[in-house]
Structure 1
């Protein structure tokens, strides 16, 4: 009887380990001194962008293809969950010289 219980526990543990979902990552992008850093970032669908505005100005992360448009108040952090794969060029609507690329993998 003990061997049967042991087999059941091992099977339950093996099933439980395989059923654990992969955790999404948090990808940090910083806007400071009117520059987006890093200028090129890779992430996956489901990952969270942590957009950190270290400037005293309002900034946006505005996708040229219309996928997202996030406003960041001065000295604040905003998060956004990536919903769609593809290469996205984005910029700040208030400071168009601030631009970067986000490669979103499935």
Structure 2
């Protein structure tokens, strides 16, 4: 019985420390536009960019992350801290978006 109780406590502790309700938020790239251009998310959420254009794009944050998004494919990043960031496509700098991350 003691071993069962130890395993059960360990499992509960692992579940309690896991991020609750992490979501995947999709941003579609079509006709050289991020849509939606502004996203509200939480720490632990994943942003997935789905590229419907016949050109490669990036989601680039100066001094931060860069996600390569090939034509017809997707790219992702997991949000690790609460912050507000503006991003753009390195190949097409007129393409811009914003992610606001809260706890």
Question: Which TM-score tier does this pair reach, normalised by the shorter chain?
Answer: 0.7 to 0.9
Compare CA radii of gyration and give the structure with the larger one: 1
Which digits, 9 at most, give the CA deviation of each residue in 1:81-106, with x for residues without a partner? 11121110000000001001110112
Q: Pick from 34, 37, 41: which aligns with 1:36?
A: 34
Determine helix, strand or coil for the equivalent of 2:71.
Answer: coil
Q: Within 1, Cα distance between the matches of 2:102 and 2:66?
A: 19
TM-score by length of 2: 0.80
Runs of 4+ in structure 1 off by over 6 angstroms are none
- Structure 1: stretches of 5+ with no match in the other structure: 1-11
Q: Within 2, Cα distance between the matches of 1:49 and 1:79?
A: 5
Q: Within 2, Cα distance between the matches of 1:35 and 1:75?
A: 14
Q: How well do the aligned residues superpose, as a CA RMSD in angstroms?
A: 2.4
Q: Pick from 69, 81, 88: which aligns with 1:72?
A: 69
- Find the counterpart in structure 2 of residue 47 from structure 1: 45
Q: Within 2, Cα distance between the matches of 1:41 and 1:28?
A: 9
TM-score by length of 1: 0.78
**How far has the Cα of 1:19 moved from its partner?**
3.6
Determine helix, strand or coil for the equivalent of 1:95.
Answer: coil
**How far has the Cα of 1:78 moved from its partner?**
1.4
- Find the counterpart in structure 2 of residue 105 from structure 1: 102
Determine helix, strand or coil for the equivalent of 2:64.
Answer: coil
